[in-house]
């Protein structure tokens, strides 16, 4: 991200017209991340462990509750405090999409190791379906550049076919999981499928963050102070409260264990996802607002992570 930002700053000093060029390149790189790098990562992640038992369904459902609650809260804020359509679409994406994998995965592993990562994979089971099948088309409805008949799920897929690729990858991954663990009676997936992510995950993260850096304008964060504060409140207060209540009910009912409960609370308190920065590029929404919300919520993790550690690890350990 720093490399993209430095390149942008240097070129802007030399040419006033470089801004549009950087936005076009950022758009192209994000499409590559969605259509080329993300599918194999999703497929290989789906076949890492067998998807069986009630815990799979419950954790997947808790993931849906977490993400949908953020989207609904974001839409309610837009209704209560009207904003320009381009800002509203970007705001909705930031409220709906949480950084479950990059930051969530790193912190989960630091707290609970591989056992925590297994719960994370179940929690994010339907992430791509929600992101590209629900949230992306929903954000597109706020684009003033699209006619009403060009928005919606089907129209969004027709206008940007690349957004259906991750959903197809999830379906293929589910079929592969069944074939590996049930159809062919294999104990573990082939080794080469797990080696793929060692290369693709860092390449995907690096390319996506570089593309974000190409359009990053930290000086503009101040313009969106109230909106950034609203997104932070959704990300770190409202959404975790809803997810924690749902997870606590499941814990008391014996549907999940204590570790699954703690992982759910942790993942529900993550900052704005990298994927939330893609709809503004696809649908010509307010990229500066999305970038600002990402910067603010990511910076707040410096405060949030120690609190989560104290509440979820230290307290439960004693």
DSSP string, 147-197: -GGG-SHHHHHHH-GGGGHHHHHHHHHHHHHHIIIIIS--SS--HHHHHHH
Q: Where in the chain are the domains? A: 2-317
pTM of the model: 0.80
Nearest to 238 by CA among 35, 70, 1: 70
pLDDT of residue 85: 92
DSSP SS3 for 252:
helix
For residues 111 and 197, what is the distance between their CA atoms, to the nearest angstrom? Answer: 22
pLDDT at 138 over 80: yes
Give me the chain's average pLDDT, please.
Answer: 83
pLDDT of residue 183: 64
Note the pLDDT tens digit of each residue in 241-262: 999 999 999 999 999 999 999 9
pLDDT at 275 over 80: yes
CATH 1.10.3470 is right for the domain spanning 2-317: no
pLDDT of residue 96: 95
pLDDT at 185 over 70: no
Query: Is-contact 259 115, C-beta < 8 A?
Result: yes
Q: How far is CA 26 from the centre of its chain?
A: 18
DSSP SS3 for 98:
strand
User: Is pLDDT larger for residue 129 or for residue 188?
Assistant: 129
User: Is pLDDT larger for residue 226 or for residue 15?
Assistant: 226
Among the ranges given (17-26, 194-203, 231-240), the one the predictor scored with the smallest mean pLDDT: 194-203
Note the pLDDT tens digit of each residue in 65-116: 999 999 999 999 999 988 999 999 999 999 999 988 778 887 888 888 867 8
Query: Is-contact 293 228, C-beta < 8 A?
Result: yes
């Amino acid at each position: 991200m720093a490399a993209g930002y430095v390149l942008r700053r240097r070129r802007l000093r030399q040419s006033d017209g470089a801004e549009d060029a950087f936005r076009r390149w950022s758009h192209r790189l994000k499409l590559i991340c969605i259509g080329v790098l993300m599918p194999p990562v999703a497929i290989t992640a789906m076949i890492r462990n067998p998807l069986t038992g009630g815990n799979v369904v419950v954790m997947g459902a808790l993931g849906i509750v977490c993400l949908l609650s953020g989207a609904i809260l974001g839409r309610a804020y837009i209704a209560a405090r009207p904003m320009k359509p381009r800002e509203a679409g970007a705001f909705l994406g930031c409220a709906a999409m949480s950084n479950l994998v990059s930051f969530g995965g790193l912190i989960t592993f630091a707290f609970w190791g591989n056992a925590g990562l297994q719960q994370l994979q179940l929690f994010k089971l339907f992430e791509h379906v929600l992101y590209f099948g629900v949230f992306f088309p929903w954000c597109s409805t706020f684009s003033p550049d699209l006619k009403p008949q060009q928005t919606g799920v089907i129209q969004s897929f027709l206008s940007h076919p690349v957004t259906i690729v991750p959903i197809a990858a999830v379906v293929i991954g589910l079929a592969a999981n069944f074939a590996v663990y049930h159809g062919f009676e294999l104990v573990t997936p082939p080794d080469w499928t797990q080696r793929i992510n060692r290369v693709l995950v860092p390449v995907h993260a690096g390319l996506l963050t570089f593309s974000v850096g190409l359009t990053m304008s930290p000086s503009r964060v101040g313009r969106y102070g109230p909106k950034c504060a609203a997104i932070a409140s959704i990300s770190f207060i409202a959404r975790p409260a809803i997810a924690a209540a749902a997870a606590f009910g499941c814990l008391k009912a014996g549907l999940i264990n204590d570790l699954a409960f703690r992982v759910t609370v942790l993942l529900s308190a993550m900052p704005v996802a990298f994927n939330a920065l893609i709809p503004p590029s696809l649908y010509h929404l307010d990229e500066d607002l999305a970038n600002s919300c990402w910067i603010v919520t990511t910076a707040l993790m410096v405060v949030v992570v120690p609190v989560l550690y104290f509440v979820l690890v230290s307290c439960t350990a004693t």
